[in-house]
Amino acid sequence: MRRLIVKLILRLFFRVEVKGWENWKKAGEGVLIAPNYVSFIDPLILAAFLPEKVPFAIERRLTKKRFVRFFLPIADTHILDADAPLTLKYFLNLLKNGGRCVIFPELQPTTIGNPMKVSAGVAQIADHTHAKILPIHIKGTENTPFSRIQHRRGLRFFSKVTITVFPVKKLEVPDNLTGSKRTAAAGRALERIMDEASLYARRREKPFWDILLDARKEFGGNTRIFSDHGAKPVTYNGFITRVLLIEEALRAQNLAGKNIGVLLPTSLGGVIAMYALQKMDKIPAMLNFSLGPRALVTSCRTACIETVVSSRKFIELGKLEALSNAIEEAGIRIFWLEDVAPLITTGKKLSAALRTHFVRSNPADPKAVEKPAIIIFTSGSEGTPKGVVLSYKNLNTNHAQMYTRVDFYRSDRVLNAMPIFHSFGLCGVFMPVSLGFFVYLYPSPLHYKTIANICYDERITILFATDTFLAGYAKAASDNYDFATMRLLVQGGEKLKPSTQQTWFERFNVRITEGYGVTEASPVVSNNYYAHHKSGTVGPFVEGLEHRLEPVDGVPEGGRLWLKGDNIMLGYLRATNPGVLEPLKDGWYDTGDIVKVDDEGYVTILGRAKRFAKIGGEMISLAAVEEAMYEIWPDGQHAVTMLHGANRETLTAVTTRRDIKRDDLRQKLSAIGMAEIAIPKKIIYMDEIPLLGNGKTSYVELDEMLKNMNGDD
């Protein structure tokens, strides 16, 4: 009777919803029920709503909490202390005999929102008894005062709670492991199960417009979410109003085609245009304005783009007239956002502002999230750009994968200076909107001094950038306080140099978090994070992503990386077959990267397959030679390539430092263990090595330039 009364009270105030009861029934015997732990009220809610009364493990210290007294009478509780082996005996015997019990793997509520340390004792119990794991995810109690999560806003005493029961899993622990290694492996296996449950429970099953409306409802319409450079911050309501206005103006233009080109910088106008086009059921195709006119027109033709949305002011300030002229000469219409202003009357503004308060999101629709959300073009660093078609499901899955890894706080403030035609830049748009924190948009990552000042003035806590840009920001900072509020520095897109890591740590006391991503994976594939970090690697793979390594002739360790998962793209658009989606065979994507994965799951990037050269019968990583040069001469730009001559190919170093001589290069590379065969035989000096918009070396452009150049030895 007491349990029933508690259940009715909880249902009344917390509107508890339970999903996946069929998985509870199918679980069978010998089941360790493993919920996430986000608040002190979680055990009480579970004890009241589980379909049968099962033993609960409770950490000894929690029994002293005043609130726990409400929980103890309605549950069969047993003390579990990882430091007291005798307390494990009850649960070992119970599970061996086919029983069920509830054990929170973290033993205590999280303080960060994401799962924290998984108890080795809990993992041992599951491993020794060969118990099945039934993961349960609780959502909603993190918003209540019963939570211990720090840096949170918008507390509500009563919040809707959702309990999701997932299918049972088995711990995957190699049979040959024993002792402490087996315990560690069991802990990692249990952690993966919990993270995967968190991933699927957090994944949004809606298009971005509906997610925006849901976020407005959760965090409040007056919450500030965006600020353009030099403009006032925009709230959820203000942003939604602008999207409605631009959508109405674009609809009046009867834009031809399904795919609409977007030639805009990282700005409020660019973000609004993306949301407006998606709301119209159009697909924004993000055009890379760092490409030349020919490549840009090729991109438009590849995606069958008939209309491009752009801004005259942006074209003028960026001196991109050659691009706009090439687009128009190709017969593609450009719709200028400046032409919208006369169409937006005072009456339309008032109407949009009024509608903003009444517009509501649609229910989750599995079919809607399978639709294409956006088209991003590859950088073309190794050939003709391809169109990468990403669905809402792809992007929402990757966002959820990041939520389970990175501790985002409602108090965070993000600076997004990466271009929105790049997948890295898009991470700083759609994901923060769903989490309710503030994003400062800046149109260029190349203004090093300005960005350092913005980080100080705007109290920025999170910054996404490549190694090239991070090195520039650190160098441009006039004072260590410029980055005093920086909490999370995420680096991707290229190899993180130890010199960059050292500079940021010594000057600003910030450890750079290195990750690895590809546009085709929406984009994050792996990343280091607080719980699992190993220098020199790009961290473990994100949850929900399968991988396999195919051997590469001449490469003794690692292999060519293939990926499969819900965050992997729908397919390619190629210039050879314009407008036709080329899906992946069996869902597997060939990254073209050579990687190795250690026993703990950490990934090390060895290089691009195309960036390996066969010399004297051996495979040489050109990226490894570049990395060594950067370590020896961090002040400068370097690139290593194969120079094609009339009768032979020559391993060539290209550098902006004219003080590097061939003998000096050979001696210093030999001193750090570089094989003679991998040392460049030729040096070419350049004032500047061509870069792509994301800071990577443009090898296509570099090789084209080298065809007509002679270097000095």
120: which residues sit within 8 A by CB, 6+ positions away? 82, 183, 184, 186, 187
pLDDT band at 66 (very low <50, low <70, confident <90, very high): low
The amino acid at 350: L
pLDDT band at 711 (very low <50, low <70, confident <90, very high): very low
Residue 656 lies in a domain: yes
Residue 349 lies in a domain: no
Are the C-beta atoms of residues 137 and 36 closer than 8 Å to each other?
yes
409: which residues sit within 8 A by CB, 6+ positions away? 113, 150, 151, 152, 437, 461
322/48 Cα distance (integer angstroms): 67
State residue 325's pLDDT score.
96
13/71 Cα distance (integer angstroms): 17
Beta carbons within 10 angstroms of residue 509's beta carbon: 11
Of 110-119, 175-184, 271-280, where does mean pLDDT reach its minimum?
Answer: 110-119
620/451 Cα distance (integer angstroms): 38
pLDDT band at 79 (very low <50, low <70, confident <90, very high): confident
Residue 43 lies in a domain: yes
Domain limit, last residue, from 163, 184, 202:
202
Q: What is the pLDDT of residues 328-342, one digit of tens each?
A: 999 999 999 999 888
Instruction: Report the side by side order of strands in the sheet with 638-644.
Output: 638-644, 649-655, 682-685
Residue 63 lies in a domain: yes
Which residue segment(s) compose the domain that 198 sits in? 2-202
Total domains present in the chain: 2
Closest CA to 464 of 435, 433, 431, 434: 431
Query: C-alpha distances in angstroms, 475 versus 316, 428, 696?
Result: 29, 24, 19
544/201 Cα distance (integer angstroms): 12
State residue 107's pLDDT score.
86
Q: Which residue would you say has higher pLDDT here, 82 or 536? A: 536
595: which residues sit within 8 A by CB, 6+ positions away? 549, 558, 559, 561, 603, 604, 605, 606
Output phi, psi for 195, to 5 deg: -65, -35
Beta carbons within 10 angstroms of residue 322's beta carbon: 12
Q: What percent of the chain has pLDDT over 70?
A: 95
Of 69-83, 178-192, 202-216, where does mean pLDDT reach its minimum?
Answer: 69-83
Q: Which residue would you say has higher pLDDT here, 547 or 119? A: 547
CATH at 150: 3.40.1130.10
State residue 616's pLDDT score.
66
Residue 350 lies in a domain: no
Residue 520 lies in a domain: no
Are the C-beta atoms of residues 665 and 654 closer than 8 Å to each other?
no
Residue 546 lies in a domain: no
Query: C-alpha distances in angstroms, 412 versus 198, 371, 438, 487?
Result: 21, 31, 7, 9
Q: What residue spans of 57-159 are helical by DSSP H? A: 86-96, 120-129
Judge whether residue 87 has pLDDT over 80.
Answer: no
Output the average pLDDT for the chain.
91
Task: State mean pLDDT over 91-99.
Answer: 94
Task: State mean pLDDT over 130-137.
Answer: 97
Domain limit, last residue, from 202, 225, 249:
202
Give the three-class secondary structure for 195.
helix
Q: Torsion over CA of 377, 381, 383 and 388, rounded to 10 degrees?
A: -20
DSSP assignment string, 165-191: EPPPB-----TT--HHHHHHHHHHHHH
Distance of CA 137 to the CA centre of its chain: 22
Residue 499: exposure state from Cβ atoms within 10 A (0-12, 13-18, ≥19): middle
191-230 as b/e, with b when 16 or more CB fall inside 10 Å? bbbbbbbbbbbbbbebbbbbbbbbbbebbeeebbbbbbbe
Q: What tokens does 271 get?
A: 């973000």
| Locus of tokens 């986000």 | 38
- Exposure on the CB side of residue 620, measured as CA atoms within 13 A: 22
pLDDT band at 712 (very low <50, low <70, confident <90, very high): very low
432/271 Cα distance (integer angstroms): 12
- The DSSP H or E segment spanning 323 is helix 321-329
pTM of the model: 0.89
Q: What is the pLDDT of residues 622-670, one digit of tens each?
A: 888 998 999 899 888 999 998 877 567 889 999 999 999 999 999 999 9
- The DSSP H or E segment spanning 307 is strand 307-310
Is the backbone peptide bond immediately before 583 cis, with ω within 30 degrees of 0? no
Domain limit, last residue, from 202, 232, 252:
202
Pairing of strands 462-465, 545-550: unpaired
Are the C-beta atoms of residues 260 and 283 closer than 8 Å to each other?
yes
2: which residues sit within 8 A by CB, 6+ positions away? 73, 74
Judge whether residue 713 has pLDDT over 50.
Answer: no
CATH at 624: 3.30.300.30
- Exposure on the CB side of residue 187, measured as CA atoms within 13 A: 17
Residue 517 lies in a domain: no
Q: What tokens does 3 get?
A: 């349990």
Q: Is the dihedral of CA 403, 404, 405, 408 positive or negative?
A: positive
- Exposure on the CB side of residue 443, measured as CA atoms within 13 A: 18
| End-to-end alpha carbon distance in the chain | 89
Q: What is the pLDDT of residues 35-46, one digit of tens each?
A: 999 998 898 899
Q: What residue spans of 415-534 are helical by DSSP H? A: 423-427, 430-435, 448-457, 467-476, 498-508
